[in-house]
Structure 1
Amino acid sequence: MYYPLTVRDFLDRAERVFPDRIAVVDEPDQPATPLGSPTYRDVGTLARAQAARLDRLGVPVGGRVAVISQNSARLFTSFFGVSGWGRVLVPVNFRLTTPEIDYIVRHSGAEVVYADPSCAGVLDGLDVPHKFVLGDDDALYLHGVEPRPWDAPDEAATATINYTSGTTARPKGVQLTHRNLWLNATVFALHAGVGDRDVYLHTLPMFHANGWGMPYGVTGLGGRHIMLRQVDGTEILRRVEEHGVTLMCAAPAVVNAVLDAVPHWDGEIPGRDRVRVICAGAPPPTRTIQRILDDLGWEFMQIYGLTETSPVVTVNRMRAEWDGLDSTERARRLSRAGVPALGVRVDVDVDGEVLTASNHNLDGYWEQPEETAKAQAGGWFHTGDGGYVDDEGYVVISDRKKDVIISGGENVSSIEVEDALMSHPAIREVAVIGTPDEKWGELVTALVVTDGSAVTAEELIAHCRTRLAGYKCPKRVDFAESLPRTATGKLRKFKLREPYWAGHDRQVH
């Protein structure tokens, strides 16, 4: 018997098994009226009411619905209220500028756009049939009306389109199917040991690869979601204490914010021997991992993946064979990307690029067949990351072959930043690279050749801010007389990176 896997399965189970259990504790400090602490029965009611409203608006199965929002209960509900009835969710990074958001909305063909009140101003410039502000619930939900059933649920149907910066100046829309998301969430939950007693703190923005699958996995297993709108180290510690948090996912910069708050925390660090923190985005320094183990007393786990892989590719978690090791050695072993997750295959080609094949891999790039074919050549997804497999079978990411910088957990396209800088009249040549930084992992660094005018680094950064989201703009600008190129005129970025990464055993941070 064949039964299609869809993301609604996770909510259906939670409603059936845990109807009266609190599902979500909404962010209390937000411009919209918080939803409070709805139960799983309440979340199911809201999801159906959202689907019914989309029916009334005439959005068909396969229609795209974009959401621009920080973490909130309404965004969480949309993961089910949109995709659960066959439509396609397009989660948009709220940090982007209006032109960047406009491109994503137009490229995806979204018919409906929801925006957090703090982003409501962007709606005015969007040419879409239906625009709503999250919090105007009478417009979002149609209560008392059952939504039209999804007559032919299809696990191969696109459930979400997630836009990611990559090797092109424009972001690419990653099409993830219900099957991709279902299997990723299930495998991730299995490796992370998620259960019905877990309390999950959303330190990870949910637009990032759909919260890595935790909105689905934690829901299906009856855990509690704690919404966090803005990352702050002290506030994270406070919510760990207040809500009994057991699990969170975070980029290295978020973990560093928590560690920075430790000296200022009054009393015992909450969550010792209880919290599991799962890190990804870039491999954190071994010293950071050791401090998580020693200073916080939290379990550290690392995964490696990309939006295109839903994202879980490899997993590195403490194992029984390491129990007798001191924290320094455990941290060293945990600093590797990990071993392939269940059902995932990993290889490294002759050029040192990490390849992966799994049921989590994207269906394709939205309306970009050539990019899709390139990324999936030979039946493997080409990650664009350089690495190797060590003697114990662990994948180590050592370099980034594609023009992507990961800063504070956000992907930044070097090409996109270079385009913004080249639009300044004083710039003649430019190369943008990632350089090591303890706080952000990698720093967006621009090396520029000017026309000889007295333009300053501050002026160039300000120029970029008129075109790019703040996190994409260079944090450092170095001036040069020329940039090294190959005989065919291609920039030799590895040469430019060398002096910045001297003394590091890998060129990712």
Structure 2
Amino acid sequence: MEFNHADLFEGIADAIGDRVALVCGDRRLTYAELDAEANRLAHHLLSVGVEPGQHVAIQLYNGVEYAAGLLATLKVRAVPINVNYRYVESELLYIYRDSDSVVLMYDPEFDDRVAATVPDAPKLRHLISVGGPSSVPGAVRYEDALAAQPPTRGFPERSGEDTYIIYTGGTTGMPKGVMWGTEGLLFAFWNPTFPRPGKPQDVVDLAAGSGPMVMMPIAPLMHGAAQMATWIAWCMGATLVYERRFEAGTVWKTIEREKVNSLTITGDAMAIPMVEALEKNPGAYDLSSLLAYVSTGAILTGKIRDRLAAAMPNVMIMDRFGSTESGSTAAAVAGSTPEKGLKFAPDVENVTVLDDALKVVEPGSGVIGQVARSGWIARGYYNDPEKTARTFPEAEGKRWLLTGDIATVEADGSIAVYGRGSQAINTGGEKVFPEEVEAVLKGHPGVYDAVVTGIPDERWGSRVAAVVQPNGEAPAVEDLDAHCRKELSGYKVPRTYAFVPEMKRSPAGKADYRWAKEIAEQA
């Protein structure tokens, strides 16, 4: 057994095969049953010629089939590729080609887009339709693929160096495939509340000896945060609960029904409808089982955190800091919010801030740099050596990941994060981080959601612009201006507002800054 997710799952399935591994809708599978389903799919992949190192794309909503697809791909030493199910044809064609995928698992709901793009992706030679018949020529039904194969294993030996790719980004450009080795991925995203395993059997022993924990990631599995939450749950021997698609009221009902203990979301975009459902229906849901409400991949604003705490006074609300390239690295300092200033305390080694010369920033010096991590970090970006070289430089005898988060190190060792450097707005020589302005705007009672971006300005180079989804009737611009000026320096206050009926975000709640910029420029 290696530090390989397929090896570890098989070891856990052998140890606690009768424990429920996954619940989604009407399907409830034990570890042994999920392992058997993944084995059948893995044998099908082998039967159509999938070889170690080749790529299997998964374009599905959350479900048992997505989990089985991840497991089956890793079992045959192939590489899973997450595909955003919201992509239009041009974006799909880009990711099919860029990832060099040879197999595609997809939902028939996407038939039209798949049919229009697959012929132009010559390496994509086999299609598996999940959840019903497909009109795309040559597609094999998932059920038929499984029925023809045995539920047993018999796969080649794996390695902790086997590749795992997560496509990420797309808010300012096309996404990039972040490449990991499975051992590095396991350790980078390891739950810091548990001791780090010294050997693979330690993971199996942890899962076998743990109590009956129920965990629920809300983000779609095409987002790395949900995939990592899945592996974390199984390494703890937990029961994992999925919803096919996010709907706040349904999530709360599922938490009540399945007695969920830990919930993982991605920032305000998911937290807002969830807390609104609680506020509109006080006492409607039994949340007595829920212990932890964790945001990862996007930060909760103070206003939303306060509303969550009021609605769930007995639940621990936490923010985690990290990225697809770095793993999970830090936890938010108590009282830290985007409005007041974000501070994180690293809970793994080799996390710091590097200045422009790639020197470690001295605590308390006030020097601004980028958050960086060495040690367990990604290998680089698939098919993009230039971006890999820029993002993973070598300095002082170490290979570093530069996360792009602009920060400094406080005297107490905590890291104060100002925002993403790629999104910073330079207006008249002053730097404005959208996250800070967005958090302040969302503190106005008339604002449901906000995304801040920079647009061209003849005098200042760029001006701060806000795209706002009102909470009911749109508030007056003068009111928003006065609200912002109470908490922000004048140069940070938006000069342009665009009001929209619905904010465009990714399925995981990430802001679409390209879209926001276009909307703001039109305004």
TM-score by length of 2: 0.72
Greater Cα offset, 55-64 or 393-402:
393-402
Q: What does 1:462-501 correspond to in 2, within 5 Å?
A: 473-474=515-516, 477-479=519-521
Q: Secondary structure at the match of 1:16?
A: helix
Q: Secondary structure at the match of 2:86?
A: coil
For the 8 Å contact 2:60–2:66, the answer to whether it is kept is yes
- Matched residues in 2 for 1:335 and 1:143: separation? 55
Number of the residue aligned with 1:154: 159
Q: Secondary structure at the match of 1:201?
A: strand
Which of these residues, 243, 246, 249, is aligned with residue 261 of structure 2? 246
1:83 and 2:74 correspond: yes
Number of the residue aligned with 2:38: 47
Q: Secondary structure at the match of 1:225?
A: strand
- Matched residues in 2 for 1:433 and 1:132: separation? 41
Amino acid at match of 1:10: L
Which of these residues, 113, 129, 132, is aligned with residue 128 of structure 2? 132
TM superposition shift of 1:257? 1.4
For the 8 Å contact 2:58–2:66, the answer to whether it is kept is yes
- Matched residues in 2 for 1:295 and 1:263: separation? 7
Q: Secondary structure at the match of 1:308?
A: coil
Which of these residues, 318, 335, 357, is aligned with residue 373 of structure 2? 357
- Deviation per CA, 1:223-250: give whole Å up to 9, x if none: 1111112222222221111111111111
Amino acid at match of 2:296: A
For the 8 Å contact 1:444–1:476, the answer to whether it is kept is no
Which of these residues, 114, 133, 139, is aligned with residue 105 of structure 2? 114
TM superposition shift of 1:362? 1.0
For the 8 Å contact 1:338–1:394, the answer to whether it is kept is yes
TM-score by length of 1: 0.73
Amino acid at match of 2:378: L
TM superposition shift of 1:346? 2.1
- Matched residues in 2 for 1:344 and 1:166: separation? 28
Q: Secondary structure at the match of 1:256?
A: helix
- Deviation per CA, 1:21-68: give whole Å up to 9, x if none: 22111135xxxxxxx111111100011111100100101000100001
Unpaired runs of at least 5, structure 1: 29-35, 319-328, 406-431, 451-456, 482-509
Number of the residue aligned with 2:19: 21
Seen in structure 2, the aligned counterparts of structure 1 residues 275 and 117 have a Cα distance that, compared at 3 Å, is farther
Q: Secondary structure at the match of 1:214?
A: helix
- Matched residues in 2 for 1:221 and 1:239: separation? 21
TM superposition shift of 1:277? 1.2
For the 8 Å contact 1:49–1:146, the answer to whether it is kept is yes
For the 8 Å contact 1:447–1:480, the answer to whether it is kept is no
Amino acid at match of 2:451: L
- Matched residues in 2 for 1:273 and 1:337: separation? 30
For the 8 Å contact 2:39–2:150, the answer to whether it is kept is no
1:56 and 2:50 correspond: no
Number of the residue aligned with 2:2: 4
Q: Secondary structure at the match of 1:46?
A: helix
Seen in structure 2, the aligned counterparts of structure 1 residues 201 and 273 have a Cα distance that, compared at 3 Å, is closer
For the 8 Å contact 2:297–2:321, the answer to whether it is kept is yes
Seen in structure 2, the aligned counterparts of structure 1 residues 129 and 440 have a Cα distance that, compared at 3 Å, is farther
For the 8 Å contact 1:62–1:158, the answer to whether it is kept is yes
For the 8 Å contact 1:312–1:360, the answer to whether it is kept is no
Number of the residue aligned with 1:306: 323
- Matched residues in 2 for 1:210 and 1:82: separation? 19
- Matched residues in 2 for 1:440 and 1:190: separation? 37
Amino acid at match of 2:386: E
Q: What does 1:357-436 correspond to in 2, within 5 Å?
A: 357-378=373-394, 379-403=399-423, 436=438
Number of the residue aligned with 1:290: 306
Q: What does 1:192-203 correspond to in 2, within 5 Å?
A: 195-203=210-218
Q: Secondary structure at the match of 1:388?
A: strand
TM superposition shift of 1:304? 0.9
Seen in structure 2, the aligned counterparts of structure 1 residues 470 and 396 have a Cα distance that, compared at 3 Å, is closer
For the 8 Å contact 1:165–1:404, the answer to whether it is kept is no
Number of the residue aligned with 1:447: 455
For the 8 Å contact 1:273–1:299, the answer to whether it is kept is no
Seen in structure 2, the aligned counterparts of structure 1 residues 315 and 470 have a Cα distance that, compared at 3 Å, is closer
Amino acid at match of 2:352: V
Amino acid at match of 1:179: E
- Matched residues in 1 for 2:224 and 2:25: separation? 21
Unpaired runs of at least 5, structure 2: 132-140, 197-205, 357-366, 426-432, 459-496
For the 8 Å contact 2:79–2:165, the answer to whether it is kept is yes
- Matched residues in 1 for 2:266 and 2:248: separation? 13
TM superposition shift of 1:148? 5.0
- Paired residue total: 422
For the 8 Å contact 1:68–1:92, the answer to whether it is kept is yes
Amino acid at match of 2:165: T
Greater Cα offset, 109-118 or 471-480:
471-480
Amino acid at match of 1:132: I
Higher relative contact order, structure no. (Cα contacts within 8 Å, ≥ 6 residues apart): 1
- Deviation per CA, 1:425-484: give whole Å up to 9, x if none: xxxxxxx9776152786516573689xxxxxx99x999x99xxx9955238734599xxx
TM superposition shift of 1:359? 4.1
TM superposition shift of 1:119? 2.1
- Matched residues in 1 for 2:424 and 2:180: separation? 21
- Deviation per CA, 1:349-377: give whole Å up to 9, x if none: 25723332244411111011111111011
Q: Secondary structure at the match of 1:205?
A: coil
Greater Cα offset, 440-449 or 232-241:
440-449
Seen in structure 2, the aligned counterparts of structure 1 residues 166 and 179 have a Cα distance that, compared at 3 Å, is farther
- Deviation per CA, 1:138-196: give whole Å up to 9, x if none: 34424326455223x221221224243366x3321111220122113433563999954
- Matched residues in 1 for 2:288 and 2:281: separation? 14
Amino acid at match of 1:157: D
- Deviation per CA, 1:367-417: give whole Å up to 9, x if none: 111111110112211111111233432222212211489xxxxxxxxxxxx
For the 8 Å contact 2:248–2:277, the answer to whether it is kept is yes
- Matched residues in 1 for 2:353 and 2:415: separation? 9
Give percent identity, aligned residues only.
18
Q: Secondary structure at the match of 2:156?
A: coil
Seen in structure 2, the aligned counterparts of structure 1 residues 257 and 100 have a Cα distance that, compared at 3 Å, is same
For the 8 Å contact 1:290–1:331, the answer to whether it is kept is no
Q: What does 1:258-337 correspond to in 2, within 5 Å?
A: 258-267=274-283, 269-272=285-288, 274-297=290-313, 298-309=315-326, 311-316=327-332, 336-337=342-343
Amino acid at match of 2:249: T
Q: Secondary structure at the match of 1:190?
A: coil
Seen in structure 2, the aligned counterparts of structure 1 residues 58 and 279 have a Cα distance that, compared at 3 Å, is same
Number of the residue aligned with 1:490: none
